[in-house]
Amino acid sequence: MARPQQWSEDDVLEFVTLKAGGQSYCIEITQIREIRRWSPVTALPQAESAVLGVMNLRGAVIPIVDLAARLGLGKCDASPRHVIMVVAVGDKTVGLLVDSVSEILTVSGEQICEAPAMGRGDVPNSILGLISIEEGMSRILSPSVLLPSVLREVA
């Protein structure tokens, strides 16, 4: 299977895998700022449903996006067992609400497969590539999908 263009064959890459909406996803480790427990957020008026609100991250106000809802996998019922991954996308910082964070994958570029083109929905567009893991595969998330939609055109 063809490899996505942004990674060359001998790149050594590290991804953090996570579960959202019951599926395995991963994000390049360089984008991740920190991982913290879920704590209640402050709701925002007129926000899209995937944006749960804003949270105080040591003085910075960051929006929290429900990743499952964003990917169209249904809303996540946030509880203290859930995890917030703080990721940097461009010059923005966003918190992602996910079910759990699993492990760090070290893969070489050649192990990344291109995401097959199918169904022109939002979900496939948000996947940059696939990595095979023991229990199946993990989907590499495109950074732009992580932002609230109000920011996506500027990102």
Partner 1 sequence: MSRDDLKATFFAECEDLLEQLSEGSQDMIAGSADDDTVNAIFRAVHSIKGAAGAFGLENLVTFAHCFETVLDRVRSGELVPDTDALHTILRSGDMLADLVELAQADSTEIPEAMPAILDKLNELSGTAAEDAGDAAADMGADMDFFGFQPLVLDPLGEEGDEDTAPAQAGETCFRIRLTASSDLFRNGHDPVLLFSELAMLGHVETRCDLSALPEADAFDPERCYLNWDLTLRGQMTEDAVRDVFMFLEDLCQIEAVDDPGADGAEPVPDLPPPSVAEETAPPQVEFRAAAPRETAPAPIELALAAETRAPVAAEPVNPAKGAAKAASPVPQTTLRVDPERVDRLINTVGELIINQAVIAQKLQETGLASNSDIMSDLDDYQYLARELQEGVMAIRAQPVKPLFQRMQRIVREAADSLGKEVVLVAEGEGTEIDKTLVERLAEPLTHMIRNAVDHGIESPEKRIAAGKPVMGTIRLSAAHRSGDVLIEIADDGAGLNRKRILEIAVSKGLVPADAKLSEPEIDNLLFMAGFSTAEKVTNLSGRGVGMDVVKTAITTLGGKVTISSRPGEGTLFSISLPLTLAVMDGMVIHAAGQTLVAPLSSVLETIRPRPQDIVPYGREGRLLSIRGTYVPIVHLGNLLGFTCGDEISSENILILIRSERSGHVALAVDEISDQRQVVVKSLEGNYGAIEGISAATILGDGRIALIIDTDAILTLAGDLGRDVALIEETQHGKTAAMV
Which residue, 61 or 104, is less far from partner 1 as judged by CB?
A: 61
Pairing of strands 51-57, 60-66: antiparallel
Task: Indicate the residue among 93 and 142 with the shorter CB distance to partner 1.
Answer: 93
Side-by-side strand order, sheet with 127-133: 100-108, 12-20, 23-28, 136-141, 127-133, 112-114
**Which residues would be at the binding site for partner 1 (CB under 8 A)?**
40-47, 53-56, 58-63, 92-94, 148, 150-151
Looking at beta carbons only, is 29 or 43 nearer to partner 1? 43
Supply the minimum distance, in Å, between the C-beta of residue 39 and partner 1.
8
Shortest Å distance, C-beta 5 to partner 1: 29
Q: How far is the CB of 73 from partner 1 (least distance, A)?
A: 23
Query: Which pair of tokens denotes residue 102?
Result: 């699993």
Residue owning tokens 């199918």: 118
Asked if 68 and 74 count as a contact pair (C-beta separation under 8 A), the reply is yes
d(CA 84, CA 101): 9
Closest CA to 127 of 20, 10, 53: 20
Q: Work out how close the CB of 27 gets to partner 1 at its nearest, in angstroms, rounded to a whole number.
A: 17
Q: Which is nearer to partner 1, 3 or 92 (CB)?
A: 92
